[in-house]
Structures are given as C-alpha cells and as structure tokens.
Amino acid sequence: MELAELIGLRPVPCGGLLVALTRRCPMSCAHCSTTSSMAASEEPDQEHLLRFIGSFGAEDRPEVVMLTGGEPLLMPELAARLASLARAAGSRTALLSGMFFARGGRVPDRIMRAITSLDHLSASLDVHHEREVPRADVLRALRAVLDAGIPVSVHLTGTGGDDPYLADAVADIRRTFAGRVPLLVNEVRPLGRAAGLVRATPDGPDGTVAAPCTLAAWPVVAFDGTVAACCNQWTVDRRPVPPHLRLGHIADDDWQAVRERSLASPVLRMLRSVGPRRLHARYGTSPAPAGYCGSCHALADRPEVLAGAARDAGGRVGELLDRLSTEQQLAAGPAALVSRMGCARYAHLVETFPAQEKSHR
C-alpha cells in the first residue's frame, strides 16, 4: 500500500480505523501532540483490541488499519498480531513510527518481523526527532525496510512552507531515494507539548460556506479503548468525549456496531459534508464558538443544532449528502486533501514521481 492510496482513503467514512496502541514513547519531542513519554501508561486492553480487530468481516471491514501511538513499535508482537487479524478479513495495515530503534541505521530483528507483517511503514521525522535519532540513520533503516519489500513513506513536520528545515529534509529524502519515497508534510499544531510552541490560527471558514471535516471519517481507538469519531487530539484525550463524537468502547462493541453508528449518525454525516461552523450557521440560535474544532465540541450544548442535523440528515438525504461529499473529495485526489489539511507547499509529494519530478506551479 502506497501513501497516496492511504491518504486517498481518508475522506471515506469508515474506510479506515486509527488505533493508538500506547501513549508510551522513548522519545521526548517538544512538539508531541499526544504528550507521550515512557512514564505514560495508557494503552487499550490487548485482549479487547484483538477481539475488536477480529470482529472485521470480509464484507464489512475498514480498508486500512493505521497503528499509531505514542510509539506502536514498542509493542511489535501486538502490532504483528493485529496486522494478521486485519489481513484475514481483507484489511491492510499501516504503522507510523518515530523510528527510535534506528540509531546506527539498523532495524532490530524483533522489530523487522513486525514491520514485514505490515502493508506500509511511515517514519515520523522532524527537527526534534533528529536530535534523538539522526536523519541519516532513519533513511538507512528505511532503505532496509524497502529492501524487505515493504512500502515506506516519511511524515515530515515543520513550522510551515517557509521552514528551512523542511526544505533541507525534503531535498535530502528526494535525493536519497530518487523520488521513490513519498512524503506527507504537516505543520506543527498547538496541541499537547506544542501548545506553547506555535500560535493558534483561525481554522476554517466562518460558516457561510461548507468546509467538510475529514477528521470525522475514520473511527479512532483511543488510549483507554474509547472509540471516538474524530482523530483530533483534543477529542481523543477529552473525557467525557462529546456524545456526538463517541462511537463506543472496544470492551463493549465490535467493528460492526461502531461502523453503523458512524455511518448512521445525522450529525456526523453533516460534519463530514459541510463542517461544524456551517451547522451552527444553519441551525444555531447563537453564534458559534471560535475555531473549527471548538465549534464542533460545542455542538453537545446546542440541542437546536443537533435537532436540525437530525431532521435534515437522518434519512436518505443524509446518506446522499455524505456520499456526494466523499465522492467530491475522492475526485480531488490525495494531494488536494494534504493541501487543505497539511502543508500546501509540499502537498504534491504525497505521490511518488521517480526518475523525473513532476512540475508544480
């Protein structure tokens, strides 16, 4: 599975499942959105998680399971077991790692066995990671994974399109792999330990136009086993999860129940189609709170908005609206999605252009 296909599935409701295996991480990056550390102990119950992934059906499954953390490769045997269960139902598995193990450029056997059970490995790289594991070591390790037949990508994070670190890292990676390794380039957000590093900026239109929420497409298994409808870290960490964003818990629910709740929820259909600020503008009796995600969380206290969403998106019309929004985003392609959600300057790098770079203006 290549990165462009993985990102291309992102707007598809229940097209994927995100799983936070653990909040533990041996690295101490200053911009970590999950505030992960080796002192953190939160992680889903393994038996519950195995049962949940084992509930996938051949005709009723996500196309991809994305394993994240913390650092998921602290639990390589569990990652391999989950990948095996997912594959038995026809799902593919990708994993995002901080590459803590890559010092010296090698991949320990125990971790390589886990990686070769996957369909894709993404390496997280940024100026903070490089202080703990040199970039050259990460790239050598990725070369070994490629040689083992597993597609790889690099998730780069910087401060924006003009960040000289990003320019240098992109050029280095493109040169090293001759354009054959795709990159997903994001910008640091004011979440977790990064809350004091960057300033929050206005996030999204004011409600006069539709702004679909792609983050509400894939269910997320959080560190305590709660299944949320949104992967924004604010939602994943908040307890209780706002009712309209809570899909269940892996101790009590299987994939079919979670999928049905996500697909049938009128408010989630509307969030995926027009976004939260448009919902406030259309149905609200008072102004929406500031911020795109803040206005979504506030829906829990706006019964008139929830009632309006239920009235207009509770039946066939809601299904059609959800489907049309998905089809429009799919037609635009993965680079368009990254341009909207990540760093627009480097959005085209989500696809590979070996031998000859495609021109972009």
Overall average pLDDT of the 157-170 stretch: 95
Q: For residue 202, what pLDDT band results from cuts at 50, 70 and 90? A: low
pLDDT, residue 192, reads: 58
Give 323-356 pLDDT, tens digit per residue: 999 999 999 999 999 999 899 999 999 997 654 4
CATH of the domain at 87: 3.20.20.70
Q: What is the pTM of this model?
A: 0.92
pLDDT, residue 291, reads: 85
Q: For residue 358, what pLDDT band results from cuts at 50, 70 and 90? A: very low
Q: How many domains does the chain have?
A: 1
Tell me, yes or no, whether 307 lies in a domain.
no
CA atoms within a 13 Å half-sphere pointing along the CA-CB vector of 325: 25
Give 143-157 pLDDT, tens digit per residue: 999 999 999 999 999
Q: How far is CA 257 from CA 11, 60, 83, 249, in A?
A: 20, 11, 21, 10
Buried-state track 218-235, b at ≥16 Cβ within 10 A, e below 16: bbbbbbbbbbbbbbbbbb
Computed over every residue of the chain, the mean pLDDT equals 91
Lay out the sheet containing 246-249: strands in order across. 183-187, 152-158, 120-125, 92-97, 64-68, 16-20, 220-221, 226-228, 246-249
Give 12-55 pLDDT, tens digit per residue: 999 999 999 999 998 877 667 777 777 878 899 999 999 999 99
Tell me, yes or no, whether 246 lies in a domain.
no
pLDDT, residue 353, reads: 64
Inter-residue contact 304 to 294 (CB < 8 Å): no
Tell me, yes or no, whether 161 lies in a domain.
yes
Say if residue 175's pLDDT is above 50.
yes
Tell me, yes or no, whether 166 lies in a domain.
yes
pLDDT, residue 356, reads: 46
Tell me, yes or no, whether 248 lies in a domain.
no
Say if residue 359's pLDDT is above 70.
no
Tell me, yes or no, whether 63 lies in a domain.
yes
pLDDT, residue 204, reads: 56
Q: What percent of the chain has pLDDT over 70?
A: 91
Say if residue 296's pLDDT is above 90.
yes
pLDDT, residue 165, reads: 96
Inter-residue contact 194 to 188 (CB < 8 Å): yes
pLDDT, residue 36, reads: 75
Give 93-128 pLDDT, tens digit per residue: 999 999 999 999 999 999 999 999 999 999 999 998
Q: Which domain holds residue 141?
A: 3-209+333-350
Tell me, yes or no, whether 358 lies in a domain.
no
pLDDT, residue 190, reads: 58
Encoded tokens for 258: 């979670």
Give 234-246 pLDDT, tens digit per residue: 889 889 999 999 9
pLDDT, residue 205, reads: 61
- Among the residue ranges 40-49, 204-213, 270-279, 282-291, the one predicted with the least confidence is 204-213
pLDDT, residue 197, reads: 53
pLDDT, residue 210, reads: 80
pLDDT, residue 361, reads: 34
Tell me, yes or no, whether 298 lies in a domain.
no
